[in-house]
Amino acid sequence: MIQPTGMLGEDGIHVDMDHLKKGEVNLGTSIMAINFKDGVILGADSRTTTGSYIANRVTDKLTQVHDTIWCCRSGSAADTQAVADIVQYHLGMYGVENDEAPTTQTAAALFQEICYENKDNLSAGMIIAGYDQRHGGQVYSIPLGGSLHKQTYAIGGSGSTYIYGFCDANWKEGMTEEEGIDFVKRSLQEAIKWDGSSGGVIRMVVLTAKGAQRHLYLPDNGYTGPGYK
């Protein structure tokens, strides 16, 4: 039976878990973004699945839409890539036309508009995080229906269900960069451990006044390195 994405099943209780088209690539995922003392950190696992098959084990789910505005993508890979592409175009135009870099909220507003207006056709859960000099670091979450939530930190994807308690217990305001990276890494490790659709490496992006810096942590050495690059 074909059902629109994100709709309840016939019984009105169970969410349709089998909403992807046959063969469609899913980001069964663990993603998160946090605020810390100097900006924001985005983190994600790297598993992409087609049903039970791992289509890509080193996926990059952290996508840049402007210099220091990035997003974490969960849901359909095709949908979220398309949405991020559109927003990247708009933000690029904004920067050129107004001679001023767009802010994180501008990006969040654009993401929300697209996700809300096309909610019936999209399977996209996104976390937007960015840094600008005026507002510092900011984290926005846009879950399935297209609502917009400004948060101190946000977690998303199928793996996030396993780490709500962990994050709540370990969250601290105003962490240092080192503490922040550790928090994200440990959270995602837990998510990967419990969620069958999450796995692979842990990728992170740190956004501060200094710009964007990528981190990579491999399972081979228990996610201890290689670190930033």
Rounded distance between C-alpha atoms, residue 165 and residue 110, angstroms: 31
Of 5, 69, 35, 64, give the one whose Cα is nearest residue 176: 35
Rounded distance between C-alpha atoms, residue 11 and residue 13, angstroms: 5
Residues 152 and 136 sit within 8 Å (Cβ to Cβ): no
Rounded distance between C-alpha atoms, residue 217 and residue 224, angstroms: 6
For the record, the structure tokens of 89 come out as 């175009």
Least Cβ distance, residue 115 to other proteins (angstroms): 13
Q: Which CB sits closer to other proteins, 98 or 161?
A: 98
Q: Which CB sits closer to other proteins, 168 or 220?
A: 168
Rounded distance between C-alpha atoms, residue 123 and residue 138, angstroms: 24
CA atoms within 13 A on the CB side of 14: 8
CA R_g for the chain: 17
Least Cβ distance, residue 113 to other proteins (angstroms): 7
Q: Which CB sits closer to other proteins, 38 or 45?
A: 38
Least Cβ distance, residue 148 to other proteins (angstroms): 5
Q: Which CB sits closer to other proteins, 50 or 151?
A: 151
- Tokens 């501008």 correspond to 106
Least Cβ distance, residue 178 to other proteins (angstroms): 14
Tell me which residues touch other proteins (CB under 8 A).
Answer: 35-40, 90, 94, 97-98, 100, 103, 105-106, 108-110, 112-113, 131, 133-138, 140, 147-152, 173-174, 208-209
Least Cβ distance, residue 43 to other proteins (angstroms): 16
Residues 31 and 60 sit within 8 Å (Cβ to Cβ): no
Q: How far separated are the first and last CA of the chain, in Å rounded?
A: 46
- Hey, which residues are catalytic here? 29
